[in-house]
């Protein structure tokens, strides 16, 4: 009985730590949504590309700590590109085609990854110590700890920048009232582009911290987008704290259902959460526009 | 200083303003007088870039600014204090003021220090704002929000301020206070374009005025003459 309980607790903790990375990806949704009322439905693809780019950078001899910022710069460029090349054009036409466009750009990303890096999952080597730490009989590996600390640290860093730099306050002003922000001389389109770049960098960062645990492969992308979206919808898009809680809950639930019901059921909690949230309180959480089209 | 030639603009199918030409001379205070829905707000929005005019031209400091984005026009010193105040409700009073000076301030830190002189000027002018500097702007009363909106626009160090319906939705005693603030701006030499439903106060405070009805300028001239014009008295001052 006690051993069973420990095994469950082990699963829940491992999943919860992973779930903080889901929260970080969902935070990327939150960033672009508050600034420009649009999100990247290819967020998981950016995570995957970030992981692959990080892997290639370590492959050419860069140490991990240098490969991560490299992948983030690439992620920022990709996020910026998706907004400039696809989303902005559709929004200028005042239609909701941007949703489909972000999905299409994401599919491009998957094809590109398959062509460049191949279809197979690859391990992502990291310099962290082997072995695990034990807390009350529950073991936690170093890569798992890095996921939790990295995800929370990155969210905290962006939030601080939003609150305590003039640029961040300007982005908040654009979210609050774009016309008024323009009248203050703030280029609201640039502020939205900036949010997409930061969101892309966060996604790439998430890729480089989860890849050591999950391995990297083109197929990871779609599942990650769905998980991040579930977390974002469940938590709502204005609560950073809610994202972390929802992320931990989803990560734990996944691991537990995979463990108790069989590995085929791992993805079930995310889908169920998403369906419940969309059915029970759609407008309150995400606004009608997106719900209608998804 | 600001000149509009044959401006046409509007939303949807119809033009809300038709062939409007106005001029604001440097150092003067010009009023746009007209009923609700006459087209005053459409006119000021197309002057400052929030709405692209369908026809006509806008010049500011002799340079054409027609069709430029509002942020670029604001950076040139033509600043609108919008109808309905439009303060950034979730941000603090001080953040709202700092945003007014955004193009001049450093993007990261130390932006507060860089703006401390101007902040002090605004707080001297509106002591209420200093008391409430760390409060959310959305929690202020209507009159305080109007003072904040005026303070925010002053932070930009504008060469011309457009005030759109500064008295809208305010209690009479607060309206008096707002007009007192506008008068002191005027006396300090800032060029002002004032769009206002309260014709009496607007004509009293301005040098020249344009009377706007159904999207067209129907009368214009010096404010003292207009205040004596029987047609104006009948329609707006009666």
For residue B164, the enclosing domain spans 2-237
Please, what is the average pLDDT of chain A?
88
User: Which residues of chain B make contact with A166, given a CB cutoff of 8 A?
Assistant: 98, 102, 105-109, 111
DSSP B238: -
**pTM of structure:** 0.89
pLDDT at A287: 42
- Rounded distance, CA A185 to CA B59, Å? 18
pLDDT at A293: 33
DSSP string, B162-223: EEESTTTT--HHHHHHHHHHHHHHHHTT-EEEEEES-HHHHHHH-SEEEEEETTEEEEEEEH
User: Is the CB of B111 less than 8 angstroms away from the CB of A184?
Assistant: no
Residue among A21, A20, A117, A35 at smallest CA distance from A80: A35
Residue of A nearest to B89 (CA): A176
pLDDT at A60: 93
Q: Kindly list the structural domains of chain A, giving each domain's residue range(s) and its CATH number in brackets, ordered by start.
A: 2-293 (1.10.3470)
Q: Is A11 helix (H, G, I), strand (E, B) or coil?
A: helix
pLDDT at A107: 92
pLDDT at A282: 59
pLDDT at A267: 83
In chain A, % of residues over pLDDT 90: 55
pLDDT at A242: 84
Residue A40 predicted with pLDDT over 70? yes
pLDDT at B172: 92
User: Is the CB of B102 less than 8 angstroms away from the CB of A179?
Assistant: no
Mutation target for B interface from A88, A167, A178, A185: give the one with most B CBs within 10 A: A185
User: Is the CB of A180 less than 8 angstroms away from the CB of B82?
Assistant: yes
pLDDT, tens digit, 9 for 90 and up, residues B48-107: 999 999 999 999 999 999 999 999 999 999 999 999 999 999 999 999 999 999 999 999
ipTM: 0.93
CA end-to-end span of chain A, whole Å? 44
User: Is the CB of A180 less than 8 angstroms away from the CB of B75?
Assistant: no
Per the model's pLDDT, the better-predicted residue between B30 and A126 turns out to be: B30
Please, what is the average pLDDT of chain B?
94
User: Which residues of chain B make contact with A183, given a CB cutoff of 8 A?
Assistant: 48, 50, 70-71, 74, 79-80, 82, 86, 153
In chain B, % of residues over pLDDT 70: 100
Within 13 Å, how many C-alpha atoms sit on residue A238's CB side?
A: 10
User: Which residues of chain B make contact with A179, given a CB cutoff of 8 A?
Assistant: 50, 70, 82, 86
pLDDT at B138: 95
Measure B181 CA to nearest chain A CA, in Å.
Answer: 20
Determine the number of helices (DSSP H) and then strands (DSSP E) in chain B: 11, 10
pLDDT at A281: 66
pLDDT at A286: 42
- Rounded distance, CA A205 to CA A28, Å? 11
User: Which residues of chain A make contact with B90, given a CB cutoff of 8 A?
Assistant: 172, 176
Determine whether A260 is exposed, middle or buried from the number of CB atoms within 10 Å of its CB (0-12, 13-18, 19+).
Answer: exposed
Residue among B78, B100, B65 at smallest CA distance from B158: B78
Nearest by CB: B82 against A172, A183, A185? A183
pLDDT at B179: 94
Per the model's pLDDT, the better-predicted residue between A275 and B194 turns out to be: B194
Contact B200, B171 (CB under 8 A): no
pLDDT, tens digit, 9 for 90 and up, residues A263-294: 888 888 888 888 887 787 654 444 434 433 33
Q: Which residues of B touch A (CB under 8 A)?
A: 48-50, 69-71, 74-75, 79-80, 82, 86-91, 95, 98-100, 102-103, 105-109, 111, 152-153, 156
User: Is the CB of B91 less than 8 angstroms away from the CB of A166?
Assistant: no
pLDDT, tens digit, 9 for 90 and up, residues A174-227: 999 999 999 999 999 999 999 999 999 999 999 999 999 989 999 899 889 989
Q: Residue B45 — pLDDT band, cuts 50, 70, 90?
A: very high
Nearest by CB: B102 against A176, A177, A184? A184
User: Which residues of chain A make contact with B82, given a CB cutoff of 8 A?
Assistant: 179-180, 183
Nearest by CB: B99 against A164, A184, A187? A184
- Rounded distance, CA B149 to CA A200, Å? 35
Backbone φ and ψ for A85, nearest 5 degrees, come out as -80, -30
Q: Residue B161 — pLDDT band, cuts 50, 70, 90?
A: very high
- Rounded distance, CA A157 to CA A187, Å? 23
Residue B236 predicted with pLDDT over 70? yes
Measure A21 CA to nearest chain B CA, in Å.
Answer: 27
Q: Residue A126 — pLDDT band, cuts 50, 70, 90?
A: confident
Q: Is A135 helix (H, G, I), strand (E, B) or coil?
A: strand
Mean pLDDT for the stretch of residues B121-142: 95
pLDDT at A284: 42
Q: Residue B163 — pLDDT band, cuts 50, 70, 90?
A: very high
Q: Return the CATH number at B132.
A: 3.40.50.300
Q: How many domains does chain B have?
A: 1
Q: Residue A172 — pLDDT band, cuts 50, 70, 90?
A: very high
Mean pLDDT for the stretch of residues A93-101: 83
* DSSP H or E stretch at residue A287: none
* DSSP H or E stretch at residue B22: strand B17-24
User: Which residues of chain B make contact with A185, given a CB cutoff of 8 A?
Assistant: 71, 74-75, 102-103, 156
User: Is the CB of A177 less than 8 angstroms away from the CB of B95?
Assistant: no
Residue B238 predicted with pLDDT over 80? no
């Amino acid at each position: 009985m006690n051993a069973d309980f420990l095994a469950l607790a082990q699963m829940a903790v491992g999943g919860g730590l992973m779930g903080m990375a889901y929260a970080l990806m969902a935070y990327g949704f939150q960033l672009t949504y508050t600034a420009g009322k649009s999100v990247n439905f290819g967020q998981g693809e950016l995570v995957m590309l970030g992981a692959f780019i990080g892997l290639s950078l370590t492959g050419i001899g860069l140490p991990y700590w240098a490969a991560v910022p490299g992948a983030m710069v690439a992620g920022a460029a990709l996020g910026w590109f998706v907004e400039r090349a696809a989303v902005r054009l559709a929004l200028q036409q005042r239609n909701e085609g941007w949703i489909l466009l972000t999905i299409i750009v994401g599919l491009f990303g998957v094809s590109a990854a398959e062509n460049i890096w191949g279809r197979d999952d690859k391990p992502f080597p990291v310099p962290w110590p082997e072995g695990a730490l034990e807390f009350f009989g529950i073991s936690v590996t170093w890569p798992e700890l890095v996921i939790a600390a990295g995800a929370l640290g990155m969210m905290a860093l962006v939030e601080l920048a939003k609150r305590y730099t003039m640029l961040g306050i300007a982005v908040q002003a654009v979210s609050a009232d774009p016309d008024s922000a323009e009248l203050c001389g703030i280029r609201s389109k640039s502020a939205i582009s900036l949010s997409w770049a930061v969101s892309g960098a966060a996604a790439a960062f998430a890729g480089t911290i989860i890849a050591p645990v999950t391995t990297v492969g083109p197929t990871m992308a779609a599942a990650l987008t769905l998980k991040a979206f579930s977390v974002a919808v469940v938590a709502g898009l204005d609560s950073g704290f809610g994202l972390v809680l929802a992320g931990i809950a989803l990560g734990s639930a996944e691991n537990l259902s995979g463990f108790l019901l069989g590995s085929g059921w791992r993805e079930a909690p995310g889908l169920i959460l998403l369906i419940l949230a969309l059915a029970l309180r759609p407008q309150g959480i995400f606004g009608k526009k997106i719900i209608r089209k998804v | 200083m600001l000149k509009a030639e044959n401006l046409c603009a509007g939303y949807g199918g119809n033009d809300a303003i038709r062939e409007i030409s106005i001029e604001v001379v440097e150092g003067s205070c010009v009023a746009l007088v007209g009923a609700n829905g006459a087209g005053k707000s459409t006119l000021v929005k197309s002057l400052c870039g929030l709405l692209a005019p369908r026809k006509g031209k806008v010049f500011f400091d002799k340079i054409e600014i027609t069709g430029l984005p509002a942020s670029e026009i604001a950076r040139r010193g033509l600043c609108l204090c919008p109808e309905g105040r439009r303060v950034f409700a979730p941000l603090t009073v001080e953040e709202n003021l700092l945003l007014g000076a955004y193009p001049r301030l450093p993007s990261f830190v130390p932006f507060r220090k860089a703006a401390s002189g101007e902040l002090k000027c605004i707080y001297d002018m509106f002591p209420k704002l200093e008391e409430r500097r760390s409060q959310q702007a959305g929690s202020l009363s209507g009159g305080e929000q109007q003072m904040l909106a005026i303070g925010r626009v002053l932070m930009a160090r504008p060469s011309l301020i457009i005030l759109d319906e500064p008295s809208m939705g305010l209690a009479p005693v607060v309206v008096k206070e707002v007009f007192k603030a506008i008068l002191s701006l005027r006396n300090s030499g800032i060029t002002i374009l004032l769009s206002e439903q309260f014709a009496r106060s607007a004509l009293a405070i301005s040098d020249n005025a344009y009377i706007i009805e159904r999207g067209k300028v129907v009368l214009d001239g010096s404010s003292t003459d207009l205040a004596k014009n029987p047609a104006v008295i009948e329609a707006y001052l009666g």
